[in-house]
Amino acid sequence: MVRASVVIVGAGISGLSAAWELSGAIAGPNENTPRIEVIESASRVGGALATTSFAGRSVDLGADGFLARRPEAVNLVRELGLDDQLEAIDASGAWIYLHGALRELPTGLVLGVPTNVAAFRHFKGISRGARWRLRRDQWFAKRLVVGEDASIGEIVRAKLGDELSYQFIEPMIGGIQAGRIDELSARSVFPALLDAAHRGGSLAKALRPSGPVSPGPVSQHVASVPMFSSLCDGVGSLPVELERQLKERGVVVRTGVGVSALRRTPSGTYPWEVDTPTTTTPADAVIMAAPANVAGRLLGAQDPALAALADVDFASASMVTFCLSSTEVTLPLHGTGVLVPLRTSWPGGDTMMVTALTLLDRKWPHLRREGDVLLRAHVGRIDDQRSDSLNDEELTERVSNELRVLLGEFGPARASLVQRWPSALPQYHVGHQPLVEQARRAASELRVALAGMAYDGVGIPASIGSGRRAAKEVFAMLV
């Protein structure tokens, strides 16, 4: 019997998860397992998951942890036999920089939306008008008519006003995708908010039960599961181990060579030929796990719904990581970090570029060392690409100066590292879901499955789920 051939374009976590599922997942390959070739343009697998050695430890350069209350990432870690590597987050709570001071975030925020009005009673960072809006939402909620989709901003600004929307909700939701609440789709990014708007009444009351707020499944026994987890060698170790085990079971993983074209074969045995600059691989089906704009470019000629993928916007982000002497910096006593609302002014003249500060070794025990602390500043939004015009040295200096405003003076860094993520975060604008549905329909007619963070949600669990879903679609295509 001739084995079917499947090519996977892109070896980020979604492409590798697709290969894992296609090659039999935990049970391993069997006589029906297709020949699988994963083609990755970068010199390493993992995409947005990568670790490096920094200040004597393995530090993640991109994603540093994952939501553990969704099952996909934890399940994959367990299937790979890495259970003993799982590490629960070791801090909770966070701070926000408002009106020139760090303030502890009130409890009960659901993606920034206040659900516990009493927690705001002693919170000093908001105006009387914003307090009144909070109370009004509880007792005389504003009516709002929304259609099948609306921007998150449209809903929360109408219900809670601009101040709470831009100072609490935007830093939290916008931070996940480096996007703006006035453009991000409630249907795709925060469906519980859209449901609440459709039902009418108080947002605080509607969102209060701590059910799932982002799209996706929830683990069983949620209460006993930590909210976030990482791996002792960093989440970047996950794709590396996945690649190793995939190769062991005969999957071909090629790095450092990009797919340059996908060609339909006119009458051949295989519907596709997948080109790189040096090779052509015949394929019965293709899993497109490269970013949506690449998918649009490679597949756009086949169907306008696929060409539309090239229009998905991507935001760039940068991270600057510092190792500081623990005796030479004053950090908030507890919590995982600090949020900085957009347009926060600072003495440098314009507005702050830093959107968040993560206290990395607070969150993850494997990063702790006696005598130092690891901080990471996040920079960049879809409409703030100022960091592009600064070289690494200039960016580090600018970010250090902003951190001195947030934290007060601190001594010279023992080490620092700039990591840039150009065009890395897809923007789920209003109308994103129909765009994805149409593209998926067109792709499946052509024996192509789409996987990745532009389709089923940004985040490691969603991307793993997206890859595995694409593999199941391909199984169905090959029957």
Task: List the one residue from 186, 425, 442, 471 that touches ligand FAD (CB under 6 A).
Answer: 425
Near ligand FAD by CB under 6 A, which window of 46-54, 182-190, 330-338, 389-397? 46-54
Near ligand FAD by CB under 6 A, which window of 89-97, 140-148, 280-288, 451-459? 451-459
Three-state SS string over 51-112 comes to EEEECCEEEECCCCCEECCCHHHHHHHHHCCCHHHEEECCCCCCEEEECCEEEECCCCEECC
Residue type, 22: L
Q: What is the CA radius of gyration of the chain?
A: 23
How many chain residues are in contact with ligand FAD, going by CB under 6 A?
35
Angle, alpha carbons 166-169-173 (nearest 5°): 115
Angle, alpha carbons 386-391-396 (nearest 5°): 85
Near ligand FAD by CB under 6 A, which window of 8-16, 21-29, 191-199, 468-476? 8-16
- Contact mark string toward ligand FAD, 342..381, x via CB under 6 A: ----------------------------------------
Closest approach, Cβ 246 to ligand FAD, in A, equals: 14
Measured from the CB atom, the residue of 160 and 425 that comes closer to ligand FAD is: 425
| Pairing state between β 285-288 and 448-450 | parallel
Looking only at residues 50 through 89 of this chain, which bind ligand FAD when binding is defined by CB under 6 A? 62-66
Task: List the one residue from 460, 470, 471, 477 that touches ligand FAD (CB under 6 A).
Answer: 460
Cα–Cα distances in angstroms (integers) from residue 174 to residues 371, 381, 426, in the given order: 34, 8, 12
Measured from the CB atom, the residue of 62 and 332 that comes closer to ligand FAD is: 62
Looking only at residues 287 through 316 of this chain, which bind ligand FAD when binding is defined by CB under 6 A? 289-291, 294
Task: List the one residue from 29, 33, 41, 82 that touches ligand FAD (CB under 6 A).
Answer: 41
Near ligand FAD by CB under 6 A, which window of 43-51, 142-150, 155-163, 392-400? 43-51
Measured from the CB atom, the residue of 98 and 451 that comes closer to ligand FAD is: 451
Cα–Cα distances in angstroms (integers) from residue 360 to residues 14, 321, 384, 398, in the given order: 25, 9, 24, 20
CB 196 within 8 A of CB 162: no
175's enclosing H/E stretch is: helix 175-177
Task: List the one residue from 186, 262, 317, 430 that touches ligand FAD (CB under 6 A).
Answer: 317
Cα–Cα distances in angstroms (integers) from residue 116 to residues 113, 162, 207, 334, 419, in the given order: 9, 19, 10, 21, 37
Near ligand FAD by CB under 6 A, which window of 242-250, 286-294, 366-374, 381-389? 286-294
DSSP letter string, 300-365: GGG-HHHHGGGG--EEEEEEEEEEEEGGG----SSSSEEE--TT-B-TTSSB--EEEEEEHHHH-G
Rounded to whole angstroms, the Cα distance separating 376 from 330 reads: 15
Measured from the CB atom, the residue of 81 and 422 that comes closer to ligand FAD is: 422
Closest approach, Cβ 299 to ligand FAD, in A, equals: 11
Measured from the CB atom, the residue of 78 and 135 that comes closer to ligand FAD is: 78
Task: List the one residue from 13, 94, 193, 352 that touches ligand FAD (CB under 6 A).
Answer: 13
CB 319 within 8 A of CB 376: yes
Measured from the CB atom, the residue of 356 and 403 that comes closer to ligand FAD is: 356
Report the 10 Å Cβ neighbour count for 141: 18
Task: List the one residue from 14, 151, 165, 167 that touches ligand FAD (CB under 6 A).
Answer: 14
7 SS3 class? strand
Asked if 236 touches ligand FAD (CB under 6 A), the answer is: no
433's enclosing H/E stretch is: helix 432-445
Closest approach, Cβ 7 to ligand FAD, in A, equals: 10
Task: List the one residue from 452, 465, 468, 473 that touches ligand FAD (CB under 6 A).
Answer: 452
Which long-range CB contacts under 8 A does 72-78 form with residues at least 24 apart? 72/216, 72/217, 72/460, 72/461, 72/462, 72/464, 72/465, 72/468, 73/229, 73/238, 73/460, 73/461, 73/464, 74/219, 74/225, 74/229, 76/17, 76/20, 76/238, 76/242, 76/464, 77/231, 77/238
Near ligand FAD by CB under 6 A, which window of 38-46, 92-100, 265-273, 278-286? 38-46
Near ligand FAD by CB under 6 A, which window of 12-20, 25-33, 368-376, 468-476? 12-20
Measured from the CB atom, the residue of 289 and 373 that comes closer to ligand FAD is: 289
CB 200 within 8 A of CB 368: no
Measured from the CB atom, the residue of 155 and 338 that comes closer to ligand FAD is: 338
Task: List the one residue from 453, 470, 474, 477 that touches ligand FAD (CB under 6 A).
Answer: 453
Q: Applying CB under 6 A, which residues contact ligand FAD?
A: 9-15, 39-42, 47-49, 62-66, 258-259, 289-291, 294, 317, 421, 424-425, 452-453, 458-460, 463
